[in-house]
Amino acid sequence: VMDPSPIPKFDNPKMEMAAIQLFGAGREQRIYALPPYTEVISLDFEDYPFEASKADHVCDLCGAENSYLDEVIVDDQGGRIFVCSDTDFCMSRQEQAKEKAA
């Protein structure tokens, strides 16, 4: 059991079998490390199962419906857009859309 803080629950599945993960907790003066290619299972309970959260939006840049999204504030008035948290995936989808349009 590992409890590095803060990790949003939607990031847990992305840590599954990934390269080494390092987390710094400055106020605790600790460094947490998740060894490479470790099986990651989110803690859940019979009466409270784990569910990865999903935004009720599509990516504003590439239109992906199945991607984890980051909410980005874009102006001083609080305007927001939702973009893929995986920027490489998002850019490749944008390039594919441009190729299809050409």
pLDDT in tens, 21-39: 887 777 778 788 888 998 8
Q: Measuring CA to CA, which residue among 18, 24, 29 is closest to residue 5? A: 24
Q: Which residue has the higher pLDDT, 10 or 68?
A: 68
pLDDT on residue 91: 96
> Residue for token digits 């992305």?
14
| Cα separation, 56 vs 69, whole angstroms | 10
> pTM for this structure?
0.55
Paired strand residues for 33: 22
Residue 59 has pLDDT above 90, yes or no: yes
HSE at residue 49, side-chain half, CA atoms within 13 A, is 3
